[in-house]
């Protein structure tokens, strides 16, 4: 008995050491790109003993490629890092499985957080984006939830089609708390991707249709395309527009679903319901006619039908969206421009769109098409909201029927003058919504001077997930 206990203890120590080797190698490679021979050889021995392919240790091999060659690993990567129902203790622990999990976790984290250095090719960017999608799946998130709210997509290759649900995990674990996860990881992934895009020879890639076809549109890539669009022409410009259009359509699909969950407008009970079968209120009809029940014949005789109200009030609501197009606000600008176009497509909503930096531009004629709107924006420069205010004020003809959404980090040249005008809009009866950051992943820096004054005014700055703004607008328009 004593010998068995000793053997079990020695085996536990052995498994624990193997697991620690994987994590020490992970930390070493994250902070120092140079290989540590001792850790590399020890990790190689562990991976061989586990029966895992050597690609697990090869940073140049994407998770997609690994899964294509070894399809059985796809199920292991799904939900690999999602919260579980608690770790078993003592003899119930599967220590061999813990070592295997450590090796796979290290693979995903190293591929995402220790990307290649030097110039970046279109293929390398595509591989990183794929690895980032596998990280989302490993965490139990839906595609794009950490990186910018894109619809669908996900990794390709051997794991294609497995995916995860929009709200759940792929591995059967608990759904992660995205309220904590996204603010911490989202900006880091965005920063890494932006760095990869900057190290690409993007103009050369766009000029080659075969290379351009390898690019997957993302917020970082779209930002770079918008900054550089005036320097592109011919095939390069055409490919850039295709990428922007793809990204806009993907994000629009996500946001449109959120908006259309409830219809705009309240029921107008002054209009009698149409007496057609599709409006029949069956439950109410049965309830109101229960006194006509014949127990002998077991029949309900209906002498009056009741119908549901369907007519909605037709008073149009005016939505004025003001977007700071300075470089720091690109993510919010893209999301809110797309959101404005969706509301512009709803009945009885009159949408106006204004973009500004040190000058203001009325983009209302193109508000229904976010692609055309984005092509007319010019990122960068300073921020002077007073020039935008000059375009906004004449649009507020009926304050009680108007909502003004102002998206900016509020680092302004003329703070006092601009805030005075904003307070006047609020005092007039119009709904004023200051928005600091409405990205699908990330956090924004808002001028604390404005933040405190908006709070005192009773219109606190809205920031965080774009769903918050969608809900605010639906509440007003509903």
Name the H helices within 365-410: 370-375, 385-392
Contact criterion met (CB below 8 Å) for 194 and 125:
no
Q: Which residues sit opposite 320 in a β-bridge?
A: 352, 404
Pairing of strands 360-362, 299-300: unpaired
Two tokens at 56?
């697990």
Contact criterion met (CB below 8 Å) for 149 and 251:
yes
364 vs 93: CA distance, rounded Å: 62
Contact criterion met (CB below 8 Å) for 156 and 64:
yes
Q: Is 359 helix (H, G, I), strand (E, B) or coil?
A: coil
Instruction: Give the DSSP per-residue string, 24-35.
Output: HHHHHHHH--S-
Assign 3-class secondary structure to 414-445: CHHHHHHHHHHHHHCCCEEEEEEECCCCCCCC
Q: In what order do the strands lie in the sheet with 349-356?
A: 360-362, 349-356, 317-324, 402-407, 431-437, 462-463
Four-residue CA torsion sign, 43, 44, 47, 52 = positive
Contact criterion met (CB below 8 Å) for 341 and 309:
no
Q: What's phi and psi for 342, nearest 5 deg? A: -70, -45
Contact criterion met (CB below 8 Å) for 363 and 354:
yes
E strands of 42-111, at which residues? none
Residue among 116, 103, 89, 121 at smallest CA distance from 45: 103
E strands of 119-209, at which residues? none
Residue among 265, 271, 273, 215 at smallest CA distance from 245: 215
Question: What's the number of CA atoms in the CB half-sphere (13 Å) around residue 326?
Answer: 18
Domains of the chain and any CATH numbers: 15-81+93-182 (no CATH), 267-311 (no CATH), 317-477 (3.40.50.410)
458 vs 86: CA distance, rounded Å: 43
Phi-psi region of 432 (alpha: psi -120 to 50; beta: other; left: phi over 0): beta
Name the H helices within 229-369: 234-259, 282-288, 330-344
| pTM, 2 dp | 0.59
CB atoms within 10 A of CB 433: 21
Residue among 76, 140, 69 at smallest CA distance from 103: 76
Q: What's phi and psi for 323, nearest 5 deg? A: -120, 125
The pLDDT value given to residue 248: 87
Contact criterion met (CB below 8 Å) for 376 and 363:
yes
Two tokens at 179?
């309220």
Dihedral through CA 449, CA 453, CA 459, CA 465, nearest 10? Answer: 20
Residue among 331, 335, 373, 377 at smallest CA distance from 469: 335
Q: What share of the chain is helix, strand, coil (3-state, %, to 5)?
A: 55, 10, 35
123 vs 61: CA distance, rounded Å: 12
Pairing of strands 293-294, 299-300: antiparallel
DSSP 120: B
Low-confidence ranges of the chain (pLDDT < 50): 1-6, 85, 149-173, 175, 178, 182-183, 262-264, 314-315, 440-442
250 vs 18: CA distance, rounded Å: 43
- Longest CA pairwise span in the chain (Å): 91
H or E stretch at 169:
none
């Amino acid at each position: 008995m004593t010998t068995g206990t000793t053997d079990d203890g020695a085996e536990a120590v052995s498994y624990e050491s193997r697991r620690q080797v994987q994590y020490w190698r992970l930390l070493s490679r994250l902070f120092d790109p140079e290989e540590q021979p001792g850790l590399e050889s020890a990790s190689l021995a562990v991976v061989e003993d586990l029966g895992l392919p050597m690609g697990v240790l090869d940073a140049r091999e994407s998770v997609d490629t690994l899964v294509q060659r070894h399809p059985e690993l796809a199920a292991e990567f799904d939900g690999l890092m999602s919260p579980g129902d608690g770790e078993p203790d003592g003899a119930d622990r599967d220590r061999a499985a813990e070592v295997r999990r450590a090796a796979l976790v290290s693979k995903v984290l190293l591929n995402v957080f220790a990307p290649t250095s030097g110039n970046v090719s279109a293929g390398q960017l595509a591989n990183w984006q794929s690895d980032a999608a596998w990280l989302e799946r490993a965490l139990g998130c839906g595609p794009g939830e950490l990186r910018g709210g894109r619809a669908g997509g996900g990794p390709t290759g051997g794991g294609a089609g497995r995916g995860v649900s929009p709200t759940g995990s792929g591995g059967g674990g608990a759904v992660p708390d995205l309220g904590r996860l996204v603010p911490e990881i989202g900006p880091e992934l965005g920063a890494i991707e932006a760095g990869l895009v900057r190290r690409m020879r993007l103009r050369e890639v766009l000029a080659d249709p075969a290379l351009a076809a390898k690019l997957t549109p993302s917020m970082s890539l779209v930002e770079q395309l918008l900054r550089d669009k005036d320097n592109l022409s011919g095939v390069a410009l055409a490919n850039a527009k295709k990428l922007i259009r793809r990204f806009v359509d993907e994000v629009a699909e996500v946001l449109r679903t959120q908006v259309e969950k409830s219809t705009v407008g309240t029921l107008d009970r002054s209009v009698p319901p149409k007496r057609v079968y599709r409006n029949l209120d069956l439950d109410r009809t049965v309830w109101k006619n229960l006194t006509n029940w014949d127990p002998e014949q077991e029949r309900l005789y209906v002498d009056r039908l009741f119908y549901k109200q369907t007519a909605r009030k037709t008073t149009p609501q005016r939505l004025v969206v003001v977007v700071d197009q300075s470089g720091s606000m690109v993510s919010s600008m893209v999301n809110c421009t797309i959101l404005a176009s969706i509301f512009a497509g709803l009945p009885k909503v009159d949408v106006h769109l204004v973009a500004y930096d040190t000058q203001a531009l009325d983009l209302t004629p193109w508000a229904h098409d976010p692609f055309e709107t984005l092509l007319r924006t010019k990122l960068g420069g300073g921020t002077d909201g007073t020039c935008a205010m000059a375009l906004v004020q004449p649009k507020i003809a009926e304050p009680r029927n108007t909502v003004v959404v102002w998206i900016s980090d509020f680092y302004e040249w003329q703070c006092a003058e601009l805030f005075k005008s904003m307070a006047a809009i609020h005092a007039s009866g119009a709904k004023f919504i200051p928005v600091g950051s409405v990205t699908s992943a990330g956090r924004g820096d808002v001028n604390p001077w404005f933040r405190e004054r908006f709070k005192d005014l009773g219109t606190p700055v809205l920031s965080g997930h774009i769903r918050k703004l969608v809900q605010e607008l639906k509440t007003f328009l509903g």
